[in-house]
A = this chain, B = another copy of it.
Amino acid sequence: MEKIIEIIGKTPLKDFIPQKYTNRLKILNLSSGEYFHYSEKELNSTFFLIEGMIQIKQTTQDGVDLNYILLDNFNVVGEKKLLFGKEGGVDFYTIRDKTKILEIPLDIGIKLIKNDKFKIFLLKLHCEKLHKFVWDISILHFKGVKKFLAHNILTYSTDDKFRFKNMSFLSEILSIDRKSLYSAVKKLEEKKLIIRENKIIKILDRKKLEEYIKI
């Protein structure tokens, strides 16, 4: 098993976490679909995504669902509590197998955040996530479901292949109802931009798909 200190060493966290704390940190190795925090629980950790893919589901005080997806990029969830004192009701769960997460207990997070450099680092990660969310929801709202789907296929594909567990799972993580999702996939197929083969959507022409979102 890889040691925590080696895992941290490969991330930007290496500049901020003193060695004396490493024995208090945890590595979570999770499969797809595992909740590592749910809204009914008190949030007592900050989680750094090392590998894999996770989703945040946030329900605001009056029941508006906000979803955003984080890819296999290094990122953080639960940091709002450290930065702004509260996180709100949030679920964190994995949406890819072999997801690796570093869990930092709240009391250590509180110590780390006293370092202004770490606070700036965390604020910038938080902004990065918000910029991404603003961009995603703007495409969904102003351009509609088909272009939002196209945008997600482009963002989350590897070698022009976008893999997903099944259509209802895809519908859930993109917050698109199944009927609209089926219809959007069909429309993109008709336009010869993609082709769906069971649990894989293949991009037929990446350039054309990018152009399609812009129109």
A residues with a Cβ closer than 8 A to B are 60, 62-66, 83-84, 116-117, 119-120, 123-124, 126-127, 130-131, 133-135, 137-143, 213-214
Contacts and interface: CB of A to CB of B under 8 A. Distances in A.
A35 to B, nearest CB: 22
Contacts of A124: 83, 123
Contacts of A120: 116, 119-120, 123
In this complex, the member of A64, A65, A117, A135 whose beta carbon has the largest number of chain B beta carbons within 10 angstroms is A64
A66 B84 CA distance: 25
Given A127-B126, A141-B140, A134 B213 contact: no
Copies in the complex: 2
A89 B98 CA distance: 40
Q: Decide if the interface of chain A is mainly helix, strand, loop or mixed.
A: helix
A134 B135 contact: no
Contacts of A63: 214
A213 B62 contact: yes
Contacts of A131: 130
Nearest to A141: B141
Contacts of A139: 64
Given A60-B138, A62-B213, A126-B127, 17 more contacts: A60-B135, A62-B214, A64-B138, A64-B139, A65-B142, A66-B134, A66-B138, A84-B127, A116-B117, A120-B120, A123-B124, A127-B130, A130-B130, A133-B134, A134-B134, A134-B137, A137-B137
